[in-house]
Amino acid sequence: MKNDIHIKYLIANEQDALWGLTVNSVGYQSIESNTPYPPSNHPVRYLFSAERGRVLDEYQLLYITQGKGEFSSDSHRRTEIKSGNMFLLFPGEWHSYQPNIETGWDEYWIGFNGINIDARIQHGFFNKENPIFNVGIREDIVQLYTQAIEIAKEQGTGFQQMMAGVVNHLLGLAYSQNKHSSFEELRVTKQINRAKIIMCETFKTSIKPEEVAQQVNMSYSWFRRIFKQYTGFAPSQYLLELRLQRSKELLTNTDLTSQEVAFEVGFENSDYFCTVFRKKAGISPIKYREITQGNNGYPNFSRK
């Protein structure tokens, strides 16, 4: 994409808003070295002085694919931005950013609002204190921005819903890739992935999280902390989830009793298995089997 593209004032009706996320603007521009920023063709609605900064009434997710510059906001000190970085602007938050005069930069952006992104902020997936994401140079991210631009050009039926899907994908990549990069810097990604493999291969046994930590050459306290940050589960919870998921498969697809299922997936006590299963699934193992096997022509493996 060689030419600068600015698509602004995208219309969203009440039904679009009910979808949970609507897009207001999308675009791309290439800022050459030794040129003013923002350029003269920047949309007036979004025009700002890099020295004075600005405040928007929408979220914007920007992606820098070439060059470098800097970013600052009320909640984040002045920080270098480089190619491969994304950064999120928040409504009502003063901010400023600009490319380095010697390098310029290429930027993609998309602006949006909605209850879906508000909920993600509320639940801590994104915050004003950490608005920069190191995702690297990725062709799939460029393609997503390009796709959004093409959808916005056409503005066919349901275009807002299609663009909302693009934004959700971009946000997911920003979150997951940045998280992955953080663990790469700690050089523990291979150890955690190895631990996950060990657990998947041995959860049917009585293996303990401490043994897994030992096998990947980590102290248990450090392993437990990093594993939870990486997966969202404590090691013991992860093993439990593996056992429960396998137990659901066995209850649905075999004629094993609840006690046999419990022992098959690594529980040493069938009563404890039933208690944990009910707590997690909301129903007993026997009731789960009745529901998932059904009585509509599907075989019923339940023992009499």
DSSP string, 36-48: -SS-TTS-GGG--
Q: Is residue 47 predicted with pLDDT exceeding 70?
A: no
User: Could you tell me which residue, 5 or 238, shows the higher pLDDT?
Assistant: 238
Q: Where are the domains of the chain?
A: 5-184, 189-293
4-33 per-residue burial string, b: 16 or more CB within 10 A, e: under 16: ebbbeebebeeebeebebbbbbbbbbbbee
Q: Global pTM?
A: 0.69
Question: pLDDT tens, 126-137?
Answer: 999 999 999 999
Q: Which two tokens stand for residue 89?
A: 């602007």
Tokens of 304: 């009499």
pLDDT given at position 184: 62
The more confident residue out of 304 and 19 is 19
Query: Which CATH number is 189-293 given?
Result: 1.10.10.60
Radius of gyration of the chain (CA): 25
For residue 173, the model assigns a pLDDT of 94
User: Was domain 5-184 assigned CATH 2.60.120.280?
Assistant: yes
Q: Examine the pLDDT at 183 and tell me if it is beyond 70.
A: no
Q: Predicted confidence band at 44 (pLDDT cuts at 50, 70, 90)?
A: low
